[in-house]
Structure 1
Amino acid sequence: MSRVTQSLVLALLGGVVLWISGFSTSYLNYVKPGFRPFLVGAGVVLVVLGVAGLFTKRKHDHDHGHGHGVAWLLCLPVFAILLVAPPALGSFAAARSQAPALPKRDPGAFAPLAGGGPVDMPIGEFIGRAWDDDKKSLTGRAVRLTGFVVPARRGGEWYVTRMQIACCAADAFALKVLVKGIKAPPRDTWVEVTGTWVPHTFGKMPNGLIYPELAGTGLARVPAPAEPYE
């Protein structure tokens, strides 16, 4: 691979990283928002190094004839990210996700729910209040959860779901709430579902993965948010 080819590949890679992080929200399909400055910085460095290499003269070029072809084949994944950006993780990943045990929160950490109408709430907070809030602040309160649809194994039931990540999509796991009383929309549809918490009837948390339940009273389809993960 010649110095010119190396520099072009480097500049192209940097340009793609810079584009998806600095001029679009595509990077949110892969990492948390806090990584944006690092991605922008990395893109700028790669572009600068690539452009600088194009102006560096070499006295000898020891390329073989197939070197350029191999080099440009390495660019295919870069073009794929730019032209056919993979979407955020959806129902396929969520259906196979085994959510880790969420850390128990201090019951006093849950602020009182204000207002009389439906409370917009992250799915992770709903799960925390359902399992860990000794004051049962969700009892009788209408809440509104936003997520995508994942069919349940039991016929007709479904989960409103959001993926949660620590740093990037590679460590994502699914946060799910079982919706009862509303017919399931198509898989992967983004929705706002309104309803009330169905209090659990067991005294001690049973073994296995148990999801809190929501008695649905309303449903609206919404566009996928720019930031898909919690």
Structure 2
Amino acid sequence: MSRLTQSMILFLLGGAVLRITMLSTTYLNYVKPGFRPFLIAAGAVVFVLGVIGVIQEWRGAAGPDHAADSSNHHEGHDHGHAPRVAWLLVLPVFAIFLISPPALGAFSAKSEEATAQMPVAALDAYSALPAGKVTEMTLGEFIGRAWGDSSMSLTGRQVKLTGFVVKSVKKKDRWYVARIQIACCAADGIALKVAVLGQAMPEEDSWVEVIGTWREPKSGKTPVGMVAPELDAVSVAKIPAPVEPYE
């Protein structure tokens, strides 16, 4: 692989990162919003290095060293595998510009059918919810209140949850409103799910707002293991997918 080709790869890779962070919100499909400045900085450095390399090659700034490198490349092929690996850097560019992988959705949540993970920040210290009012909250907070709040603050209170639709694999008539929670990026995502009762399931992977009331366990005790809490729904409304898909 020539130095010009290497520089072009850096140019394209840096440009791809800058495109998804500065010209769109696509980066939110992969990382949390707080990583945007770091992605912009990294993309700018790679982009500038690529531009400098291209300019140097076009101007022949490398001079004799460049000619010597070219000669060595043709004389021996001992380093054949190393240059080929560099072509893998092009794959993210193709993925971003041609495929643009979407945020994790129903397929990822289904793979964790047996669990409804306790949110990272679940605490036994929640404020009381107002009576006679629908309270909007994240799935993480709802699960935390359902299974980690000794004051049972969800009892008799209507809440609004937002997420995508996931069909249950094990129970025929059950579906979940779900969302992926990430700590830094999509690679560490876990599925948060709440079972929706009393309403027909919309199209899988569509985004919905669900209003309903927490159904307390019949035993009055928190189930053993990671179990999705249940919501007696009074309404389910389809909504556009949010710009920021993760919790």
Could you state the TM-score of these two structures normalised by the residue count of structure 2?
A: 0.84
Give the equivalent residue in structure 1 for 2:97. Answer: 82
Give the equivalent residue in structure 2 for 1:167. Answer: 184
Pair 1:118-2:108 in alignment: no
Instruction: Give how far 1:85 is off.
Output: 0.5
Unmatched 5+ stretches in structure 2: 75-79
User: What's the secondary structure of 1:159's corresponding residue?
Assistant: strand
Is contact 1:157–1:183 with CA below 8 Å preserved after alignment? no
Matched residues, percent identical? 55
Whole-angstrom distance in 2 between the partners of 1:202 and 1:103: 26
Name the structure with the higher helix share. 2
128 and 101 in structure 1: CA distance in 2 versus 1, 3 angstrom threshold: closer
Tell me which structure has the larger Cα radius of gyration.
2
Q: What is the number of residues matched between the two proteins? A: 228
Residue range with higher mean Cα deviation, 89-98 or 139-148: 89-98
Give the equivalent residue in structure 1 for 2:171. Answer: 154
Could you state the TM-score of these two structures normalised by the residue count of structure 1?
A: 0.90
Give the equivalent residue in structure 2 for 1:186. Answer: 203
Whole-angstrom distance in 1 between the partners of 2:122 and 2:105: 27
Give the equivalent residue in structure 2 for 1:130. Answer: 146
Whole-angstrom distance in 2 between the partners of 1:87 and 1:99: 22
Whole-angstrom distance in 2 between the partners of 1:211 and 1:27: 29
Instruction: Give how far 1:133 is off.
Output: 1.5
Whole-angstrom distance in 1 between the partners of 2:18 and 2:173: 44
> How much is the aligned-residue C-alpha RMSD, in angstroms?
2.4
Give the equivalent residue in structure 2 for 1:96. Answer: 111
156 and 99 in structure 1: CA distance in 2 versus 1, 3 angstrom threshold: closer
Equivalent position amino acid for 1:92 in 2: F
Instruction: Give how far 1:188 is off.
Output: 0.3
Equivalent position amino acid for 1:96 in 2: S
Within a 5 Å distance, the mapping from 1:39-118 to structure 2 comes to 39-56=39-56, 57-58=61-62, 59=64, 60=67, 61-62=70-71, 74-97=89-112, 98-102=115-119, 105-107=122-124, 109-114=125-130, 116-118=132-134
Instruction: Give how far 1:114 is off.
Output: 3.7
100 and 155 in structure 1: CA distance in 2 versus 1, 3 angstrom threshold: closer
